[in-house]
Amino acid sequence: MNDIDKLIKIAKLAQFAPKDLIAEEGEAADKMFLVLKGEAGVYKNYSLPTEKQLDILKTGAFFGEMSLFLGSKYAATVVAESPTAILIIDRMNARQIFSAEPDITLFIMETLFDRLNIVTSECAKHAEILGIPPQPPPKEYIFNLNNPNGECLFSYKKGETLSKGKAQNLYFILGGKARLYFNYGTAEEFLLGELAAGNYFGESILGKVTAVAGEDALILVLNSDAYKFFSNEPETTFRILETACDRLDILYGYYESFFADKLTTDGYRSHILFPDGHKAYEMGINRKCKLLYDRYHTCPICKKKFIAASIRDKDLTLRSVDDDFRMHYEQVDPMHYEVLTCPNCWFSALEEYFTLAYYTRSIFEEKISPYKYQMKFSFQQDINSVFNSYYLATVCAPLCYTSNTPLIMGFTWQRIAWLYDDCKEETLRDAALRYSLNYLSSAYASAIIPPKQLHQTMIIIGVQNFKLGRYHEALTYLSKAANTKGISDNKRLKAAELLKKYRDSRQNG
């Protein structure tokens, strides 16, 4: 934001104290809000027993755009978390804002287009599974321009190439149609789809995709010259943002239709992170145990500090140990706190691997944003938030680790299987076990398991095979573990005992 003084002369500036209500879920309005200072929390079911915090909005963030452009009711409640200054943009002053501060316009537009890309991608992924069209037919919109010969406006005749290969700009269709082809002009040419006015292309075009005018077309090329367009065409700019919101609304509805019968009663969206059959569980976790304490961590992705509950390991009282090395303790289950989730960027990982991760923050947030836009939950609050963190860890691991990814994924899925076992979900437990087994077996075959973990991992692979009814594989791994050289007698004895136990069980069964 270049000139706040200029902004507050155009739009209303509102100041809020902590806990003040800024916008209320279900309220009908035609305003959007831009955070100039402070932080605002976004909540579903605010002040109710089912309250969930969806997001924290910081300086520069905005919300309420669907209300401004489409007249929709607020989808969530927004509350000031600190002394907060909010710029209120309504339908009367929006065009002045877009003309006076084109950088704000570009930021809002880029954010909306990012969301469109994310939802479009998610629709395509799930539609392929269901065997239905990846998105509804493109809706056509009408635009009226004051200056149709602007510097970033281009006219194309039917059949002309608009963009070939990886696009450097974003192309917004103001009139006519554009067709997207794969391997255009070759024997393998394939029509990917046709876009009508109000749609766009370019941001996610890859490799051999070519855009061709399906009929005479007027294209707005969004690049560094777009600032001039926003200043000179505030009405058309408003219309572009309006169509982006409308397109988002249509796609959200289409996406939700895939899963209309798969939302749990408390609003958890099983299709975002969770497999079919996952639901909200009522098993409690001990949040008041005296062994818990707050510990500071630094996120390796966003570099911000946060606090998470940890356990005083030295004071734990061990009750029993399972064949796969799951340990049961008195009072509290450490597994509920073994995965860390950064509340700022949502990077999640088992604590022992947390600081080893690396990834460019901007790229990471782009990858994780589908879950941030769709999931609604907090962390370390109940068994459901524990599941959330573990499943987020399965998303983060392939992004943020290299050679040790299979091992990290294997141990993460092992704990998810344990959680399902606690919740008496046998089908999902076995599915998680299969994932864990596949990753750990891959790690073993690739010889990437550290020597100090190798013997224990061999036993875990053997036990998992046995639990899944793969008896030959189970006995093979346990036999290798029992005959491993260079380990302690106790470790070798553990493997030998399990080998005998499972062999006898197989013979007697």
**218-248: per-residue pLDDT in tens?**
998 877 667 788 888 888 889 999 999 998 8
What is the distance between the alpha carbons of residues 192 and 179, in angstroms, rounded to a whole number? 8
| Lookup: tokens for 282 | 């009522």
Q: How far is CA 405 from CA 298, 350, 386, 439, 449, in A?
A: 21, 12, 21, 9, 11
Q: Is 15 a residue whose pLDDT tops 70?
A: yes
| Percentage of the chain lying above the pLDDT 70 cut | 90
Over range 34-59, report the average pLDDT.
87
- In this predicted structure, the answer to whether residue 57 has a pLDDT above a threshold of 60 is yes
Could you please state the CATH topology (level 3) that the domain comprising 4-92 is classified under: Jelly Rolls (2.60.120)
* Whether the Cβ atoms of residue 13 and residue 97 lie closer than 8 Å to each other: no
Give the per-residue pLDDT at 86.
94
pLDDT band at residue 267 under the 50/70/90 scheme: very low
| CB contact at 8 A, 316 and 334 | yes
Q: Tell me: pLDDT of 255 over 50.
A: yes
Query: What H or E segment, with its residue span, contains residue 417?
Result: helix 405-422
427, 424, 394: which is closest to 409 by C-alpha?
394
Q: Output the CA–CA distances (angstroms, integers) from residue 80 to 13, 35, 43, 84, 311, in the order listed.
A: 14, 10, 11, 6, 32
What does the pLDDT read at residue 457?
94
pLDDT of residue 144: 80
- pLDDT tops 90 at residue 115: no
For residues 133 and 254, what is the distance between their CA atoms, to the nearest angstrom? 10
Give the phi and the psi of residue 324 in degrees, each rounded to 5. -95, 20
Mean pLDDT of 315-337: 91
Q: How far apart are CA 92 and CA 245, in angstroms?
A: 18
β-bridge partners, 309: 294
263 vs 506: which has the higher pLDDT: 506
Is the pLDDT assigned to residue 135 strictly greater than 70? yes
In this prediction, residues 150-160 reach a mean pLDDT of 87
Which residue spans within 266-425 are E strands per DSSP? 292-298, 305-311, 318-321, 327-329, 339-341, 348-350
pLDDT at 211 over 60: yes
Tell me, what's the pLDDT at 75? 87
Mean pLDDT of the chain: 84
Q: Is 141 left (phi over 0), alpha (psi -120 to 50) or beta?
A: beta
Spell out the CATH class of 105-258.
Answer: mainly beta
Tell me if 418 sits within 8 A of 383, measured CB to CB: no
Q: How confident is the model at residue 204 (pLDDT cuts 50, 70, 90)?
A: very low
Give the C-alpha separation, 241 to 234, whole Å.
11
Q: What contacts 488, CB < 8 A, 6 or more positions away?
A: none
pLDDT value of residue 3: 64
* Position 63 pLDDT exceeds 70: yes
Q: Is 264's pLDDT higher than 50? A: no
Q: What pLDDT score was predicted for residue 434?
A: 92
Whole-angstrom CA distances from 473 to 145, 215, 341 are 70, 61, 35
Q: For the chain, where do the domains classified as CATH 2.60.120.10 start and end?
A: 4-92, 105-258
Confidence of residue 265 (pLDDT cuts 50, 70, 90): very low
Q: What pLDDT does residue 30 have?
A: 85
User: What mean pLDDT do residues 467-473 have?
Assistant: 90
**Residue with structure tokens 């600081």?**
355
- Name every residue whose Cβ is closer than 8 Å to that of residue 55 and which is 6 or more positions away in sequence: 41, 42, 372
Burial class of residue 33, CB neighbours in 10 A (0-12, 13-18, 19+):
buried
The residues, any chain, with a CB within 8 Å of residue 236's CB and separated by 6 or more, are 143, 144, 145, 146, 174, 229
Inter-residue contact 40 to 56 (CB < 8 Å) = yes
pLDDT tier, 188 (very low <50, low <70, confident <90, very high otherwise):
confident
pLDDT, mean of residues 454-469:
93
Give the pLDDT score at 241: 92
For residue 259, what pLDDT is reported?
61
Residue 133 — very low, low, confident or very high, per pLDDT cuts 50/70/90? confident
- How far does the chain reach from its first CA to its final CA, in angstroms? 72
Q: How far is CA 445 from CA 325, 429, 441, in A?
A: 21, 24, 6
pLDDT at 315: 85
Q: Can you give the pTM of this predicted structure?
A: 0.52
Of 263 and 295, the structure prediction assigns the larger pLDDT to 295
> For residue 269, what pLDDT is reported?
43
What's 124's DSSP letter? H
What length does the chain have? 509
